[in-house]
Amino acid sequence: MSNIASNASQYVEQMAALESDRRTRAAFQTLAVSLAPPRGHIFDFGSGPGIDALFFAQRGFKIAAYEIDPSMCAYFAGHCKDFIATGQISLDCRDYATFLSDTPLVARSSADLIVSNFAPLSLVSNLRELFHKFHALTNKTGRVLASVLNPYFIGDMRFPWWWRRIARLRRIGHYVLPSPGGPLTRRRFALIAAECQPHFELVRVFPGTPAGGQAVPEGFDPAHLNAANWLQIARNRFTFLLLQKTG
């Protein structure tokens, strides 16, 4: 257990070390709070060590979280123990197949907002079945705010692997890269918009850490992105996508 805890602790330290990651997390948290109703219900998919869950709970939200990694679950349990004890936070650490097919461990009202920070969706190969699950977890006005890895990030263009995969991105809408946590799929926004159907529609796109500190609280309309919008998006490793439940 000590090795498990240390792995998660190292992750937390690494995430806190870079200013860009701190700014990205702060931007995501601020946006999520603006989207969820006061004291509403948030479902945190791929919650990691519970940093976001604790942030939201401290602001009065009720949190149900899902995480598959044992080290993250162990850290989460300690990091959020006070709110877990009161029932304000619950954590589901079952395997992914069970998560998709079964009901949540703790009964809650349907979520007002599902959040997924620092790209858990990029580790999911089949988004259609995940959004089917998200549909079941949300109320009739539910939304999803997801941080995804940006396939157009300017910082990646200095690497040969990006140029080797750009043709595939244009042709089929995604490419896959290996990572310690498993294969990472980087998708065009249009592909995500297609794969969230028929349960959700992509309604806004947000730069993860806006250049020059200029916030874009209203985001961009994904159907009408202009050159200036694309430049702001391309400067960010992460992009935030807002998806609205369909009628």
Q: Are 162 and 210 in contact (CB under 8 A)?
A: no
Arch. (CATH architecture) of 2-151+187-245: 3-Layer(aba) Sandwich (3.40)
Q: Is the pLDDT of residue 213 over 50?
A: no
**pLDDT tens string 34-53:** 999 999 999 999 999 999 99
Q: What percent of the chain has pLDDT over 70?
A: 92
Q: Are 145 and 240 in contact (CB under 8 A)?
A: yes
29-34, long-range: CB < 8 A, 24+ apart: 29/55, 29/56, 31/145, 31/206, 31/217, 31/240, 32/56, 32/113, 32/115, 32/145, 33/59, 34/217
Q: What does the domain layout of the chain look like in residue ranges?
A: 2-151+187-245
**pLDDT tens string 65-119:** 999 999 999 999 999 999 999 999 999 999 999 999 987 665 555 899 999 999 9
Measured from the Cβ of residue 34, the count of other Cβ atoms closer than 10 Å reads: 9
pTM listed for this prediction: 0.93
Structure tokens at 182: 């498993």
